[in-house]
Structure 1
Amino acid sequence: MEIKKYTKTRFHPTQFPDGIKHHRHGVSLSAAKVIREALAKALVPYYPVAGRLVSFDDRIEVACNGEGVWFVEAAVADRSLNDWEAIPLSVVKEELLPSCPPHLNQQEMILMMQVTHFQCGGFVVGLKFSHLVFDGIGVGQFLKAIGEIACGQTHPSIDPFWYRDTIPASPMLSKSSLSLLTPKFDIVNSMYDFSIQTIERLKEKIAKETSNINSPPLSAIGDVCLTFAANIRHVLFQLPKAGYYGNCVYPLTITATGEQIMQASLAELVGLIKDAKESLPTKFKEWASGNFKEDPYKISISYNHLTLSDWRWIEFYETDYGWGIPNSISPKTHDFSFTCGILLKQPLPKDGVLEGQVVMKEHEQRFIDEINKCVNV
């Protein structure tokens, strides 16, 4: 498959007095043109996104210098999106994502976007963003704003705000605690589907079992860890209910011994996750006051430490640039240097999908067998 990237520009915040026209108004415009112009208009209220990340001693800040977002237009002349399953993973994950020229420092960029047109008339929107600025909810809000403007709205339905000072920084943090060297494991990139029926059946089974169980003890340092990012907007009472788009997550980690995990029922494992979620306000308050032994943001990287993210409720899936909501959302996980998984929502009847790098090749079949035992109860 040959991909031709024919336009690369730094796109700056721009006001468009005449609005945006495309095929819905009887004018046929390319998706790249529509999205590019909507992006420029969305950057006016979201002006920090057009800035750059800069380092000052032991902290990183956003310089709101208006240098713009890097936008790439690309085209595929010999393939249709109907050929998606036949497209090599390396092409899907690399060629459909934007890249900036050598004279720009990609590490300073807050967001880059690429729109790739296919022979069939469909298109793919590829996105890279800095997790130092955005979390999933935040970038989903920004993409939804672009879509709303692309569809003719003059302003986003949610007014964005940038009150980073309202989010406390722990007095215990230091530059050394933020740096992390990660080993590389030979982990297999995989995808596992879960139907709606399977998920509902598991929920019913777990609900019946959890009424009479106690969580396994976690007092000792174990050898199995699960970390997932928890949204903390609801515990920051000074934030309005909606609109903040910066990174606003706290990593919750569950630790147990391998023996505890092997002996626990599925309902007991779910109980551990529920307990961790309920502890979020207390743990975050302790972290913000410096009352902790280990920095929760300094996650140890090992083969027995799995990091999970849940994208199913992020507004990626509701973003409409004028051609309808996306058919599919796919993360870039194949070159991560640690074990991770991302929960996705796919077109019905699949519903739940776990994609990521979870196990090494020699353990893949055992992992699949365990999943099958779980979903076939």
Structure 2
Amino acid sequence: MVETISIEETTNISPNNPPFTQTHTLPLSHLDIDLNLHVTFRYFRVYAYPSNQIPDPFNLITSALRTALGPYYPLTGTIRPVGGGGYELLCTPNRGIPVVKASMDFSLETLNYLDDPDESLSDQLVPNPDPNEAMEHPMILQITLFKCGGYVLGSAVHNMLCDGMGASEFFTWVAELTRGETRLMVEPVWNRDVLLGPREPTRVEFPFGEFLSLDKEFSPYMQNVGPVVRVCFPMLEKWLDRFKEYLVERSGSKFTTFEALGAFIWQARVKASNIPKDRKVKFAYLMNIRKVTKPALPKGYWGNGCMQMYVQLTAEELLNQPIWKTAMLIKNSKYNATDEYVRSYIDFQKENYDKGITAGQDVSGFTDWRHLGHSKVDFGSGGPVTVFPLSKHFMGSIEPCYFLPYSSHGRNKLNDDDLGFKVLVCMRESARMKFMDQMDKFCKLDFDLS
């Protein structure tokens, strides 16, 4: 039986003190309008605290939103195309963001605090706008109240408007307002066309064309690989420690968890997916460039401040080379992230945007959510016990992978042998069994993927 959420109302939440009276437009940077980011990112936070601590979460949060949307008023805007290619943000007086109020006649405990939720349930917790609605309302929220007094804040945010860090800054400010804060410690900064604009004249110093696709007929999120499913499983520190030792023994180099586990999962997924050997496959991830640019982006900049980085091989090369070599390629790719690399990429976007720049096919996107500070989004009774992404489309990939912290509720029940985190992998359903066989080998400390 599929649990059903009841939708009670949708309210338009606009700023208490309208910050402007005239319709105007705001420019977006070439990092914002990257076609790989032409997608709504969906995720939820679970707050499992009794209602006597927060009697009415919906009114509390929407009241704070009305204040927060003053300095963050672009969230009420509309993304629209501009002549010659690209997009801009249209800001109109008295607009707001839609906030859905919903309820569910279950306790969060009976649902295991949504630590690994059933897909049919989790998709009801977050708005899922169609492409046109997502441009019209780049941010749509849903607050679902549970019988136990806990609640879930579901967020659907268009990635062109801000990245995960930018969205977290906004939600952190909303949460601070609910706890009694009255002024922003750091004012939000727009200035996107100036801070991350192309140079005059443009100058491209890196061979982006070697790993990016120029095909205006291709849309990364319209690829058809059959049904895509979410697979969530624990990753224990003891397994990772042994795998890293294995890599050191063979390479003489140390690797981070992201580099080591990312390499294994990438190889395992490509192997399980039966991708033709001569096909190019990509490992994609985001690198924060806020302190890389010269000058560094100012505090308060909440636009897209990350660059997509890539490792590219043929499927045959990936499957035949030692796993430590793959981890080394991921490790070394980070050193490309320089100010010149960022500026060249922006210039490349300027020169080629109308040709349709994407990462192409067979992209495996990886992102690490373990240290993003989600616990700081505290509306007065503690941070979220679970944070869970729903998006199967991210970074030009239809098969993203997320490293996630355990829910705080689940973590409290763990013994030392179970310490680690969760891995959430989106993959074509046809590859699921073979992929999990490979991960089972990893758990048994068998790291040979041949």
- Taking structure 1 as the reference length, the TM-score comes to 0.82
Aligned to 2:328, the other structure's residue is in SS state helix
Aligned equivalent of 1:265: 322
Deviations 1:90-126 (A, max 9, x none): 2211x21236799x93322121111100011110000
Deviations 1:69-98 (A, max 9, x none): 11111111x2111232596422211x2123
Compute the displacement of 1:250 (Å): 1.8
Aligned equivalent of 2:197: 168
* 1:96 maps to 2:114: no
* 1:313 maps to 2:354: no
Contact 1:341 1:357 in 2 (8 A): yes
Aligned equivalent of 1:251: 308
1:176–1:257: structure 2 CA closer, same or farther, 3 Å change rule?
closer
* 1:300 maps to 2:360: yes
Which structure ranks higher in relative contact order (CA pairs < 8 Å, sequence separation ≥ 6)?
2
Aligned equivalent of 1:145: 173
Out of 366, 369, 381, the position equivalent to 1:323 is 381
Paired AA for residue 55 in structure 1: P
Aligned equivalent of 2:240: 199
Aligned equivalent of 2:426: 357
Aligned to 2:345, the other structure's residue is in SS state helix
1:54–1:268: structure 2 CA closer, same or farther, 3 Å change rule?
same
1:140–1:208: structure 2 CA closer, same or farther, 3 Å change rule?
farther
Compute the displacement of 1:136 (Å): 0.9
Compute the displacement of 1:154 (Å): 0.9
Aligned equivalent of 1:82: 109
Count of paired positions:
356
CA distance in 2, matches of 1:64, 1:315: 30
Contact 2:61 2:178 in 1 (8 A): yes
Deviations 1:21-40 (A, max 9, x none): xx99x985311111111111
Compute the displacement of 1:297 (Å): 5.1
* 1:46 maps to 2:103: no
1:212–1:161: structure 2 CA closer, same or farther, 3 Å change rule?
closer
Paired AA for residue 302 in structure 2: Y
Aligned to 2:403, the other structure's residue is in SS state strand
Contact 2:393 2:400 in 1 (8 A): no
1:297–1:30: structure 2 CA closer, same or farther, 3 Å change rule?
farther
CA distance in 2, matches of 1:233, 1:309: 17
* 1:372 maps to 2:431: no
CA distance in 2, matches of 1:73, 1:340: 29
1:47–1:179: structure 2 CA closer, same or farther, 3 Å change rule?
farther
CA distance in 1, matches of 2:349, 2:74: 32
Paired AA for residue 151 in structure 2: F
Aligned equivalent of 2:82: 56
CA distance in 1, matches of 2:328, 2:385: 34
CA distance in 2, matches of 1:74, 1:212: 51
Out of 258, 281, 284, the position equivalent to 2:342 is 284
Aligned equivalent of 2:148: 120
CA distance in 2, matches of 1:156, 1:345: 28
Coordinate RMSD, CA, aligned:
3.5
1:99–1:374: structure 2 CA closer, same or farther, 3 Å change rule?
closer
Aligned equivalent of 2:183: 155
CA distance in 2, matches of 1:3, 1:212: 50
1:294–1:326: structure 2 CA closer, same or farther, 3 Å change rule?
same
CA distance in 2, matches of 1:346, 1:339: 21
- Taking structure 2 as the reference length, the TM-score comes to 0.70
Aligned to 1:314, the other structure's residue is in SS state coil
Aligned equivalent of 1:185: 225
Q: Which ranges in structure 2 are unaligned for 5 or more consecutive residues?
A: 18-48, 255-277, 446-450
* 1:242 maps to 2:299: yes
Q: Which ranges in structure 1 are unaligned for 5 or more consecutive residues?
A: 16-22, 214-220
CA distance in 2, matches of 1:315, 1:49: 21
Aligned to 2:161, the other structure's residue is in SS state coil
Compute the displacement of 1:268 (Å): 2.2
Aligned equivalent of 1:218: none
Percent of aligned positions with the same letter in both sequences? 22
CA distance in 2, matches of 1:293, 1:240: 23
- Where does 1:322-341 land on structure 2 (aligned, <5 Å)? 322-333=380-391, 338-341=398-401
Out of 160, 170, 178, the position equivalent to 1:132 is 160
1:291–1:129: structure 2 CA closer, same or farther, 3 Å change rule?
closer
Aligned to 1:247, the other structure's residue is in SS state coil
CA distance in 1, matches of 2:160, 2:441: 39
Deviations 1:327-351 (A, max 9, x none): 1111113588822222212233554
Compute the displacement of 1:2 (Å): 3.5
1:284–1:179: structure 2 CA closer, same or farther, 3 Å change rule?
farther
* 1:107 maps to 2:135: yes
Larger mean Cα displacement after TM superposition, 257-266 or 133-142: 257-266
- Where does 1:60-75 land on structure 2 (aligned, <5 Å)? 60-66=87-93, 67-75=95-103
